Structure 1
Amino acid sequence: MTGPEDSTSEDRTIGRRALFATGAATALTLGTVSFAHAAPGGDSGGGPAERTRTVTGTLPPGAPDFVYLPVEVPRGVREIAVSYAYEKATVPAGTQNNALDIGIFDERGTELGGRGFRGWSGGARTEFFIRADAATPGYIPGPVRAGTWHIALGPYTVAPQGLPYTVTITLKSGERGSTPSPVYPPARAKGRGRAWYRGDCHLHSWYSDGKRTPAEIAALARAAGLDFINTSEHNTHSSHPAWEGLWGDDLLILTGEEITTRNGHVLALGVDPGTFVDWRYRARDNRFGHFAREIRRAGGLVVPAHPHATCVGCNWKFGFGEADAVEVWNGAYTPDDEVSLQEWDNTLAVAARSGGRWTPAMGNSDAHRDPDRVGGPQTVVLADELSREAIQAGLKGGHSYVAESAAVSLSFTASGGRGGHAGIGERLRVAPDEPVTVRLDVTGAPGCTASFVTDQGTLFSAPAGAVSWQTTASYATYVRAEVRHPPLVAGLPGPLAAFTNPVFLGD
């Protein structure tokens, strides 16, 4: 990317003294890169059409979460292009190696809340560009206005030897072009009226670190029998206008974001199109509640994702007080999903005892690329119609179950001796010792075992099919159903094929 007409290189090495002078700050700003004479002839009476600056430096161990490189952008710039590279180190076994993310904020600044946000690719790309009429996926098209822009570097992990990096910035002059008006997915599809609708609300395209196009994802969603999906790119809303022509009477497309912090990931599910939610905070900063409220103000749901995933920074540290639902099952069923399931089940017992609010569970694929399976798993929601509002109401109310594919269907109800009836996510109001019959009908799960789980644990199991069991509210404060494959390891539970949210029993 070095321009032949103008190229300079500067060092931005951070010494330990400079770094720790910032105290407990989680961000650091480097010296400014100047393009004072980069304006085109039309604005300055002369000058090259393209200029490049290259910055090198080294981030030490203990570097802050975000390092900002200010860039003075003069008038008359049509395009800003950035590339970067960093060195991997030789590290002992068990030691994290270097990993460096990148993004950019425009002249409106880096203030938390994202007013100046113009894009983020994390570690998925080594270069990007922004101009009025187009931008690299993950970035927001629009004019390159004069002022101080900030390239955001995110040292995710730093090796003991430090993290050497190089950033190259190129400004190109010329006619700017115009920014197209975004076309967003509609909030309603034709659907089937009140029905059970299948969806996958955690998906990644090439607008973050996925490898599939939106068109490929939409086709795979239809093939998987899905009725709705939610866009969830890491730390960017740039894909919201990228689904034009891909929705239809049979497919509702919700817009969202996966907010990827250093202390866990959370889905902003079904926010207003064009909404960006910031991610630059940790649990210690006490900022999550503010951004959870931002998600809700934008019409979305707050859904912590894969809370016990094993990747660095993926464990959920913010608590579940702000959660509208929790992603208990993420992709192929693994031990961390089992831990998430059991932790979620523990919260049901607390809610049942206190009579307080409970948090529904859901499942999503988190599909990025082949062979990741879109719709594996999927959340099946009872909704009045196929619309954003109705789907969200079903998810938040817990009127849903999770299945490994569209081949698996469940019907789960509880009924009392006096004609009372309750479905998934509801409460059956019965006297403590009144007989309650719980019934589960399973199709599409041959060879699996169905179980009824209560606050005491698993109390009844049988081959999956038509299964019923009798209990009382004094014996079980709630009942939920699980359908599992045979165990892969003796003495451990088998992988899930499906599970339901609970039916609560008693007044």
Structure 2
Amino acid sequence: MYTVDLHAHTRFFHGRRSLGDRYDPLGVRLLTELAARRGLDGVATTNHDYYTPFDPAPDVATLPGIEITTDRGHVLVVGPDPPRATKPGALSPAEAVALAHDRDCAAIVAHPFRNSTVRELEDVPFDAIEVNGKHPRSQPLVEALAAERDLPLVGGSDAHYPFEVGRAYTVVEADRLTPESVVDAIRDGRVSARVSRSKGNRLLRRGYRAVHSRKHVIDAFEEPTPGVGQPPGEPDED
């Protein structure tokens, strides 16, 4: 039995590829150090539309992954051989899932109730649906969706800053922790989602709510910019 955060990022420099590339080695080190402190056995590095192999961490397994921006929302791809890069918005969810399966990876619906209509697609063979740590109040909706689609639930923090890791995570029933064993466990339904209810995470959610409430007041007096989505952590902090 292992605990794994299946959705985490090693950077917060979106749109600044060269700056982010320089930060990634430090970002993954901070991410895994905090994951170890929180008792996790592994963390998947699922950066937006690119995958970089990282050196193994001493105490926490780093699992390969990528978060693909499809034309309907985000799809997590986790496994031994994720694609190195994808063009944002170029793939449909079905194409992203086919790409994942061709590379022996699991395809997961990321944050299905935030900036996504992927959940509306009934004929795409996803492997799991995510309970996202940034809006845990949507968990009952995600559970109902997973039951309707007969898919397992996994958990991921969607951490863009290292201190967010482990806000949600996945319990994986396996004899050993490898990318292959995680994919097998997801497809066999030997996984379950957990949301951290620790005091630290409760305080973090309150802080995010206060920031977002103030931002919404400011945004009400500003003209919205077409095509600009919500920043990481924006929606539905519990």
What does residue 27 of structure 1 align with? none
Within-5 A mapping of 1:383-422: 383-405=174-196
Match of 1:203 in 2: 8
In the other structure, the counterpart of 2:70 is 261
Structure 2 unaligned regions, length at least 5: 15-19, 199-237
> Structure 1 or 2: larger helix share?
2
Aligned counterpart, 1:307: 112
Q: Which amino acid aligns with 1:225?
A: G
Q: How do 1:89-238 and structure 2 match up within 5 A?
A: 196-206=1-11, 209=14, 213-237=27-51
* CA apart distance, 1:392: 1.6
Pairs within 5 Å for 1:308-457: 308-309=113-114, 313-316=115-118, 319-320=121-122, 321-327=124-130, 329-347=131-149, 358-369=150-161, 372=164, 374-405=165-196
SS in 2 for 1:383: coil
CA RMSD of aligned residues (A): 2.7
Q: Structure 2: how far apart are the matches of 1:219 and 1:268?
A: 23
Contact 1:263/1:318, CA 8 A, preserved across alignment: no
Give the letter aligned to residue 345 of structure 1: A
Larger Rg: 1
Q: Does structure 1 retain, via aligned residues, the 8 Å contact 2:41–2:60?
A: yes
Q: Percent identity?
A: 28
Give the number of the structure whose residues are more often strand, by fraction.
Answer: 1
> Match of 2:210?
none
**CA contact 1:266–1:305 (8 Å) conserved in 2:** yes
C-alpha separation between the residues in 1 aligned to 2:167 and 2:79? 20
Distance 2:171 2:80 in 1: 20
CA distance in 1, matches of 2:116, 2:62: 26
What stretches of structure 1 of length at least 5 have no aligned partner? Answer: 1-195, 348-357, 408-494, 496-507
- Rate the CA distance shift 1:273–1:322 in 2: closer, same or farther, 3 A: closer
CA 1:339–1:206 in structure 2 vs 1: closer, same or farther (change >3 Å)?
Answer: same
Normalised to the residue count of structure 1, the TM-score between the two structures is 0.34
- Structure 1 CA distance, aligned partners of 2:135 and 2:82? 31
Instruction: Give distance in 2, aligned partners of 1:403 and 1:336.
Output: 13
Shift of 1:406: 9.8
Q: Once the two structures are superposed, what CA deviation does each residue of 1:414-445 show, in whole Å capped at 9, x if it has no partner?
A: xxxxxxxxxxxxxxxxxxxxxxxxxxxxxxxx
Shift in alpha-carbon separation, 1:334–1:388, aligned structure 2, 3 A: closer
Partners of 1:406 and 1:384 in 2: CA distance: 27
Q: Matches of 2:95 and 2:61 in 1, distance apart?
A: 29
- State the TM-score, normalizing by the size of structure 2: 0.69
Tell me the distance in 2 between the aligned counterparts of 1:261 and 1:290: 9
1:200, 1:379 within 8 Å by CA — same for their partners in 2? yes
Cα distance in 2 for residues equivalent to 1:234 and 1:342: 27
- Cα shift at 1:346: 3.0
CA contact (8 A) 2:64 2:78 kept: yes
Matched residues in 1 for 2:132 and 2:156: separation? 5
Q: Give CA deviations for 1:225-275 in whole Å, capped at 9, x if unaligned.
A: 1111111111122xx23x22x423x42211111112342110011241663
Q: Secondary structure at the match of 2:185?
A: helix
Per the alignment, in what secondary structure is the counterpart of residue 302 of structure 1? strand
Distance in 1, matches of 2:60 and 2:163, equals 22
1:280 corresponds in structure 2 to 89
Q: Which amino acid aligns with 1:404?
A: V
Q: Does the aligned pair in 2 maintain the 1:221–1:229 contact within 8 Å?
A: yes
CA contact (8 A) 1:224 1:405 kept: no
Q: Deviation of residue 318 (structure 1)?
A: 5.9
Question: For residues 48-63 of structure 1, what are the structure 2 equivalents within 5 Å?
Answer: none
CA contact (8 A) 2:72 2:93 kept: no
Q: Alpha-carbon deviation of 1:342? A: 2.3
> Counterparts of 1:488-507 in structure 2 under 5 Å?
none
- 1:277–1:294 CA contact under 8 A, matched in 2: no
SS at match of 1:255: strand
